[in-house]
Amino acid sequence: MNTGSEIAEVAALIGDPARANILMALADGRALTATELALAAGVSPQTTSGHLAKLTEAHLLAVAAQGRHRYYRIAGPAVGHALESLMTLAVTGLAPKRLPSKQDDAIRAARTCYDHLAGRLGVALADRLIAAGYLAPEDEQDFRVTKGGEKFLGGLGIDLDVVRRQRRAFARQCIDWSERRPHVAGALGAALADRFFERGWIARVRDGRAVTVTPAGKRGLRSVFDIRLD
Protein backbone atom coordinates (compact mmCIF):
# COMPACT_ATOMS: atom_id res chain seq x y z
CA MET A 1 0.00 0.00 0.00
CA ASN A 2 1.30 3.44 -0.91
CA THR A 3 2.04 5.78 1.97
CA GLY A 4 1.48 9.50 1.93
CA SER A 5 5.19 10.16 1.58
CA GLU A 6 5.45 7.86 -1.47
CA ILE A 7 2.51 9.58 -3.14
CA ALA A 8 4.04 12.96 -2.36
CA GLU A 9 7.34 11.86 -3.88
CA VAL A 10 5.73 10.83 -7.17
CA ALA A 11 3.57 13.96 -7.19
CA ALA A 12 6.67 16.12 -6.70
CA LEU A 13 8.36 14.43 -9.66
CA ILE A 14 5.39 15.08 -11.93
CA GLY A 15 4.78 18.53 -10.45
CA ASP A 16 8.00 20.07 -11.74
CA PRO A 17 7.03 22.08 -14.88
CA ALA A 18 9.90 20.77 -17.01
CA ARG A 19 9.27 17.16 -16.01
CA ALA A 20 5.54 17.63 -16.57
CA ASN A 21 6.29 18.89 -20.09
CA ILE A 22 8.49 15.84 -20.71
CA LEU A 23 5.73 13.48 -19.60
CA MET A 24 3.12 15.29 -21.69
CA ALA A 25 5.36 15.13 -24.76
CA LEU A 26 5.41 11.34 -24.32
CA ALA A 27 1.73 10.96 -23.41
CA ASP A 28 0.80 9.70 -26.88
CA GLY A 29 2.93 6.58 -26.40
CA ARG A 30 5.76 7.56 -28.75
CA ALA A 31 9.44 7.27 -27.87
CA LEU A 32 11.59 10.41 -28.11
CA THR A 33 15.26 11.23 -27.64
CA ALA A 34 16.67 13.43 -24.90
CA THR A 35 17.27 16.18 -27.47
CA GLU A 36 13.63 16.18 -28.55
CA LEU A 37 12.49 16.16 -24.93
CA ALA A 38 14.77 19.08 -24.06
CA LEU A 39 12.89 21.15 -26.65
CA ALA A 40 9.56 20.02 -25.20
CA ALA A 41 10.68 20.79 -21.65
CA GLY A 42 12.10 24.19 -22.54
CA VAL A 43 15.33 23.61 -20.59
CA SER A 44 18.94 22.82 -21.44
CA PRO A 45 20.05 19.32 -22.49
CA GLN A 46 22.06 19.02 -19.27
CA THR A 47 19.03 19.86 -17.12
CA THR A 48 16.87 17.51 -19.20
CA SER A 49 19.33 14.69 -18.57
CA GLY A 50 18.85 15.10 -14.83
CA HIS A 51 15.07 15.15 -15.17
CA LEU A 52 15.10 12.02 -17.32
CA ALA A 53 17.27 10.20 -14.79
CA LYS A 54 14.81 10.98 -11.99
CA LEU A 55 11.76 9.98 -14.02
CA THR A 56 13.40 6.74 -15.13
CA GLU A 57 14.53 5.87 -11.61
CA ALA A 58 10.94 6.35 -10.41
CA HIS A 59 9.69 4.00 -13.18
CA LEU A 60 7.61 6.76 -14.76
CA LEU A 61 9.70 6.47 -17.93
CA ALA A 62 11.39 3.55 -19.65
CA VAL A 63 14.50 3.92 -21.82
CA ALA A 64 15.81 1.81 -24.67
CA ALA A 65 19.08 2.12 -26.57
CA GLN A 66 19.11 1.93 -30.36
CA GLY A 67 22.49 2.53 -31.95
CA ARG A 68 23.92 5.72 -30.55
CA HIS A 69 20.54 7.01 -29.42
CA ARG A 70 18.53 6.46 -26.26
CA TYR A 71 14.77 6.65 -26.59
CA TYR A 72 12.44 7.46 -23.71
CA ARG A 73 8.78 6.53 -23.43
CA ILE A 74 6.03 6.36 -20.81
CA ALA A 75 6.72 3.31 -18.66
CA GLY A 76 3.26 1.82 -19.07
CA PRO A 77 -0.49 2.39 -19.31
CA ALA A 78 -0.82 3.16 -15.59
CA VAL A 79 1.38 6.24 -16.06
CA GLY A 80 -0.62 7.33 -19.12
CA HIS A 81 -3.88 6.89 -17.20
CA ALA A 82 -2.52 8.95 -14.31
CA LEU A 83 -1.54 11.79 -16.66
CA GLU A 84 -5.00 11.82 -18.24
CA SER A 85 -6.57 11.97 -14.77
CA LEU A 86 -4.31 14.86 -13.79
CA MET A 87 -5.30 16.72 -16.95
CA THR A 88 -8.96 16.27 -15.99
CA LEU A 89 -8.25 17.77 -12.56
CA ALA A 90 -6.30 20.64 -14.14
CA VAL A 91 -9.14 21.49 -16.51
CA THR A 92 -11.88 21.32 -13.87
CA GLY A 93 -9.96 22.82 -10.96
CA LEU A 94 -7.86 25.61 -12.43
CA ALA A 95 -8.79 28.78 -14.26
CA PRO A 96 -7.42 28.84 -17.84
CA LYS A 97 -4.22 30.87 -18.18
CA ARG A 98 -4.50 31.45 -21.95
CA LEU A 99 -7.02 31.47 -24.76
CA PRO A 100 -7.62 28.19 -26.65
CA SER A 101 -5.49 27.73 -29.79
CA LYS A 102 -5.94 25.74 -33.00
CA GLN A 103 -3.69 23.08 -31.49
CA ASP A 104 -5.99 22.88 -28.46
CA ASP A 105 -8.99 22.45 -30.78
CA ALA A 106 -7.23 19.63 -32.65
CA ILE A 107 -6.34 17.83 -29.41
CA ARG A 108 -9.90 18.12 -28.15
CA ALA A 109 -11.24 16.76 -31.44
CA ALA A 110 -9.12 13.60 -31.65
CA ARG A 111 -5.92 12.54 -29.95
CA THR A 112 -4.11 9.56 -28.52
CA CYS A 113 -4.12 9.07 -24.77
CA TYR A 114 -1.01 6.89 -24.34
CA ASP A 115 -2.03 4.16 -26.82
CA HIS A 116 -5.80 4.59 -27.17
CA LEU A 117 -8.14 7.16 -28.71
CA ALA A 118 -9.43 10.15 -26.80
CA GLY A 119 -11.12 13.48 -27.40
CA ARG A 120 -14.46 13.78 -29.18
CA LEU A 121 -13.53 10.87 -31.44
CA GLY A 122 -12.66 8.55 -28.55
CA VAL A 123 -15.80 9.43 -26.60
CA ALA A 124 -18.01 9.09 -29.70
CA LEU A 125 -16.53 5.65 -30.30
CA ALA A 126 -17.30 4.56 -26.73
CA ASP A 127 -20.82 6.00 -26.97
CA ARG A 128 -21.59 4.13 -30.20
CA LEU A 129 -20.22 0.83 -28.92
CA ILE A 130 -22.42 1.16 -25.84
CA ALA A 131 -25.50 2.29 -27.81
CA ALA A 132 -25.11 -0.67 -30.19
CA GLY A 133 -24.94 -3.07 -27.26
CA TYR A 134 -21.33 -4.12 -27.93
CA LEU A 135 -19.94 -2.65 -24.70
CA ALA A 136 -21.55 -2.26 -21.30
CA PRO A 137 -20.24 -0.79 -18.03
CA GLU A 138 -18.93 -3.59 -15.83
CA ASP A 139 -18.56 -1.30 -12.83
CA GLU A 140 -17.40 2.26 -12.26
CA GLN A 141 -13.96 1.42 -13.62
CA ASP A 142 -14.25 -1.08 -16.47
CA PHE A 143 -16.30 -2.07 -19.51
CA ARG A 144 -17.28 -5.59 -20.52
CA VAL A 145 -17.72 -6.83 -24.07
CA THR A 146 -21.10 -8.43 -24.81
CA LYS A 147 -21.59 -11.50 -27.00
CA GLY A 148 -22.67 -9.21 -29.83
CA GLY A 149 -19.58 -7.11 -29.18
CA GLU A 150 -17.31 -10.12 -29.47
CA LYS A 151 -18.72 -10.86 -32.92
CA PHE A 152 -18.53 -7.22 -34.00
CA LEU A 153 -14.96 -6.70 -32.79
CA GLY A 154 -13.91 -9.97 -34.36
CA GLY A 155 -15.24 -8.66 -37.65
CA LEU A 156 -12.92 -5.67 -37.26
CA GLY A 157 -9.99 -8.06 -36.99
CA ILE A 158 -9.54 -7.75 -33.22
CA ASP A 159 -8.66 -11.07 -31.56
CA LEU A 160 -10.16 -10.69 -28.10
CA ASP A 161 -8.39 -13.78 -26.78
CA VAL A 162 -5.05 -12.15 -27.56
CA VAL A 163 -6.22 -8.81 -26.14
CA ARG A 164 -7.38 -10.42 -22.88
CA ARG A 165 -4.04 -12.17 -22.36
CA GLN A 166 -2.17 -8.89 -22.12
CA ARG A 167 -0.89 -8.03 -18.65
CA ARG A 168 -2.98 -4.90 -18.25
CA ALA A 169 -6.58 -3.80 -17.77
CA PHE A 170 -8.77 -5.23 -20.54
CA ALA A 171 -11.34 -2.47 -21.18
CA ARG A 172 -10.91 0.44 -18.81
CA GLN A 173 -13.24 3.42 -18.53
CA CYS A 174 -10.93 6.43 -18.82
CA ILE A 175 -12.59 9.79 -18.10
CA ASP A 176 -11.69 12.07 -20.98
CA TRP A 177 -10.26 15.35 -19.67
CA SER A 178 -11.74 17.45 -22.47
CA GLU A 179 -15.13 15.72 -22.84
CA ARG A 180 -15.59 14.76 -19.16
CA ARG A 181 -17.03 11.38 -20.21
CA PRO A 182 -15.40 7.97 -20.63
CA HIS A 183 -13.48 6.70 -23.61
CA VAL A 184 -12.20 3.13 -23.97
CA ALA A 185 -8.73 2.57 -22.53
CA GLY A 186 -6.82 -0.57 -21.64
CA ALA A 187 -5.83 -3.33 -24.02
CA LEU A 188 -9.10 -3.10 -25.96
CA GLY A 189 -8.74 0.67 -26.43
CA ALA A 190 -5.22 0.13 -27.77
CA ALA A 191 -6.43 -2.60 -30.15
CA LEU A 192 -9.15 -0.31 -31.54
CA ALA A 193 -6.64 2.51 -32.07
CA ASP A 194 -4.27 0.09 -33.82
CA ARG A 195 -7.03 -1.00 -36.21
CA PHE A 196 -7.87 2.63 -37.03
CA PHE A 197 -4.22 3.35 -37.84
CA GLU A 198 -3.85 0.14 -39.85
CA ARG A 199 -6.93 0.95 -41.93
CA GLY A 200 -5.71 4.47 -42.58
CA TRP A 201 -8.71 5.98 -40.84
CA ILE A 202 -6.58 8.25 -38.67
CA ALA A 203 -3.11 9.76 -39.00
CA ARG A 204 -0.80 11.33 -36.45
CA VAL A 205 -0.18 15.06 -36.47
CA ARG A 206 3.52 15.84 -36.35
CA ASP A 207 4.90 17.08 -33.03
CA GLY A 208 1.74 16.56 -31.05
CA ARG A 209 -0.80 14.15 -29.61
CA ALA A 210 -3.57 15.11 -32.02
CA VAL A 211 -4.67 12.78 -34.80
CA THR A 212 -6.62 13.65 -37.91
CA VAL A 213 -9.47 11.63 -39.35
CA THR A 214 -8.76 10.90 -43.02
CA PRO A 215 -11.41 10.88 -45.76
CA ALA A 216 -11.32 7.08 -45.63
CA GLY A 217 -11.76 7.33 -41.89
CA LYS A 218 -14.82 9.54 -42.19
CA ARG A 219 -16.38 7.01 -44.54
CA GLY A 220 -15.43 4.09 -42.32
CA LEU A 221 -16.69 5.74 -39.16
CA ARG A 222 -20.03 6.45 -40.82
CA SER A 223 -20.51 2.98 -42.30
CA VAL A 224 -19.11 0.85 -39.45
CA PHE A 225 -19.92 2.88 -36.35
CA ASP A 226 -22.51 5.41 -37.53
CA ILE A 227 -20.21 8.18 -36.26
CA ARG A 228 -20.41 11.49 -38.10
CA LEU A 229 -17.76 14.00 -37.17
CA ASP A 230 -17.85 17.71 -38.04
Full set of structural domains in the chain with CATH:
4-75 (1.10.10.10), 98-225 (no CATH)
C-alpha to C-alpha distance for 193 and 96, rounded to whole angstroms? 30
Select from 124, 101, 102, 108 the least CA-distant residue to 218.
Answer: 124
3-class secondary structure, 133: coil
3-class secondary structure, 203: strand
pTM of the predicted model as reported, rounded to 2 decimal places = 0.71
> Tens-of-pLDDT digits for all 230 residues of the chain?
567 788 888 888 888 999 999 998 888 777 889 998 998 888 999 999 999 999 999 999 999 888 788 899 888 888 887 887 787 777 665 555 554 555 678 888 999 888 899 999 999 999 999 999 999 999 888 999 999 999 999 999 999 999 999 988 999 998 888 888 899 999 999 999 999 999 999 998 876 778 999 999 999 999 999 998 76
| Cβ burial, residue 1 (10 Å; 0-12/13-18/19+) | exposed
Q: For position 199, what pLDDT does the model report?
A: 96
Q: For position 99, what pLDDT does the model report?
A: 47
DSSP E strand stretches across 99-155: 111-113, 116-118, 135-137, 143-145
C-alpha to C-alpha distance for 56 and 40, rounded to whole angstroms? 17
